Amino acid sequence: MGSTLADGRAGVDADLVRRLIAAQFPQWSDLAVIPVEVDGWDNRTYRLGDDLTVRLPTAAGYVPAVAKENHWLPRLAPALPVAVPVVLAEGVPGEGYPFPWSVRGWLPGQTADPEHLDDLSQFAISVAEFLRALQRCDTVGGPVGGEHSFYRGASPAAYDEGTRRALAALAGRVDTAAAAVVWQTALATEFDAAPVWFHGDIASGNLLVADGKLTAVIDFGTCGVGDPACDLVIAWTMFTGDSRQAFQQTVDLDEGTWARARGWALWKALVMLAKCIDGDQERAAVHRRVIDEVLADSVG
């Protein structure tokens, strides 16, 4: 038996997955286990044969997503215009691994890097149409945005302290005065409409494409019911110019929601930039670009 995993990351490897499968789902024990090319932070994912994947949370904070996705994805899927993960089995702790985990169907496609896309504006419309379909889903009994969603779906005020620390740390290195105005504007608005379903992490790595078209949306771990502003961050992290305009027009949400969305985008970019500005300049440039896009858009 493998050693107990101290932090949920060390020791998560293909051998552990093979042991878990052999112990709990022996019908799949002859299938090859291979790490996926593009993996996330919240979970580790492995191919299981040609048609399956195994998904394991990397820390206790990500565990609530397992049951949430297993329960809600089958209920949301029929109303959505593209594929979402199909959960086939739920594993339990074992072999030294302390968390529940799942086996899912493999979704083909590439992550949505611009080089994989034929028309970025049309892709932006497809993402917006997915969000609108998600927002039309029945919310009865859905999990209200909060700790399980890392406060996506709630007010960005949950991250006020961290944002202000980042602003202080970046003083003189970015336009913190303008950023503070955008942040305060975000906090000054309130979500006062009927709550809707949100994904919580609409980003290029969670959008799959084939032949240049959106074909699937994955990783609903931060999903829930509440304010959809958190799902609009891709407007500045991936889209710009015509593609951003196409996304904004298709989503068709009010300015207060867009103000909170700018806050969500700015919070993450500021915090990440503060961490890497004196080290990884390539990563720093990515976060600087997002900050610049948000600030320019706020006065556009």
Point out which residues pair with 226 in neighbouring strands: 196
For the chain, the residue count is: 300
Give the residues across from 91 on adjacent strands: 101
The answer to whether 112 touches 101, Cβ cutoff 8 Å, is no
Domains of the chain in start order, with CATH, are 14-105 (3.30.200.20), 110-298 (3.90.1200.10)
pLDDT, tens digit only, all 300 positions of the chain: 333 444 445 568 999 999 999 999 999 999 999 998 877 778 999 999 999 999 999 999 999 999 999 999 999 999 999 999 999 999 999 999 999 999 999 999 999 988 879 899 999 999 999 999 999 999 999 999 999 999 999 999 999 999 999 999 999 999 999 999 999 999 999 999 999 999 999 999 999 999 999 999 999 999 999 999 999 999 999 999 999 999 999 999 999 999 999 999 999 999 999 999 999 999 999 999 999 999 999 876
C-beta of residue 233 within 8 angstroms of C-beta of residue 178: no
| Residue matched to tokens 């397992």 | 66
